[in-house]
Structure 1
Amino acid sequence: MQAVELNQELFDELERYIDSIETKETALIEVLHQAQNLFGYLPMEVQLFIGEKLNVPASKIYGVVSFYSYFTTKPKGKNVINVCTGTACFVRNAESIVKEFEKRLSIKTGETTSNGMFTIDCLRCVGACGLAPVVMVNDEVYGKVKVEDIPKIIAKYSE
């Protein structure tokens, strides 16, 4: 989910999407999802635009964006690496998986590499406890991940 330039065409597309919604009063989360899909993240300019179009205060929008972990106000890398740190994954060494990704990519969790290729994040549970520890890169799931698997996973997405 790489961030894209904030251009007028994307704002126009978001406006058309909002205009197509019949019940705008209950559409905030739906609109935020659409905006994040379009822009790759939800900078303040996009939040204010949504507030204006839905007649929702900016404080409420920011509250929703900052509450739900799915939403981000910072651009993410082309490849988002999510390491599950739920109970099953945690007891099966998820912490060492996170540390190895951080070491190999020279960034901390929540950060993006300088070339914009990778972001490391953690999730609480992906519902695949039998495959613990689990790593997701974009929409691809890797189960029973070992520290020695990480270079191969990174290489697959470095091309």
Structure 2
Amino acid sequence: MPDLKELGKNKSNLIKALQKRQELEGYISDKDIEEISEAFSMAPVEVEGVVSFYTQFKRIAPGKYKIAVCDGTACHIKGSSLVLNWITDELGIEDGETDEDGIFSMDAVACLGCCSLAPVISINGKVYGNLTRKKLLKILNDYRQKEEADNG
């Protein structure tokens, strides 16, 4: 891959190569592990060890709709843990997971910078605030209907 060749074979560029690959695909696939290990003349298990050590790297493909649940101070005080639980109950996914259909993924994040709207989520960058369970379920159902319409 051209993005790997430009980094050379110096192992000090391994993290940069992983970051570039994740930037392209949203996660590090098994194929990426193989290609990167070959490019840097390393065993795949060594590359996997680096990927699993750093939390910035994802090994699961993100869903089409990436839900970021704010867990900053204001959101935490106003119930972000409830929001996480509601999403888990509704979609069957935990923090850092993607649903079986590859439609939704969820990550708790440190802060979305919308404290006055707490509790807050964003879906693919669109912010939704002042969440209640009812409001959240409507938002998720709207995305489901959109997905069905796009694929129907």
Smaller-chain TM-score range? 0.7 to 0.9
SS at match of 1:114: coil
Aligned residue pairs total 145
* Identical-pair percentage: 32
Pairs within 5 Å for 1:6-85 = 15-21=1-7, 26-55=12-41, 58=44, 60-85=46-71
**Structure 1 stretches of 4+ moved >6 Å:** none
TM-score (norm 2): 0.74
Q: How big is the alpha-carbon RMSD for the aligned residues of Structure 1 and Structure 2?
A: 2.7
**Aligned letter for 1:154?**
L
- Rounded to whole Å, the distance in 2 between the matches of 1:156 and 1:55 is 47
Q: Give per-residue Cα distances to partners, 1:68-88, cap 9 Å, x unaligned.
A: 333211222211212122332
CA contact (8 A) 2:9 2:41 kept: no
* Structure 1 counterpart of 2:100: 114
Alpha-carbon separation, structure 2, partners of 1:67 and 1:127:
28
2:149 paired residue number: none
TM-score (norm 1): 0.71
Deviation digits for residues 125-159 of structure 1, max 9, x if unmatched? Answer: 33443443221212223333332221232134221
What is the CA–CA distance in structure 1 between the aligned matches of 2:134 and 2:81, rounded to whole Å? Answer: 14
Stretches of structure 2 lacking an aligned partner (at least 5 in a row):
147-152
- Contact 2:67-2:104 within 8 A present in 1 as well: yes
What stretches of structure 1 of length at least 5 have no aligned partner?
A: 1-14
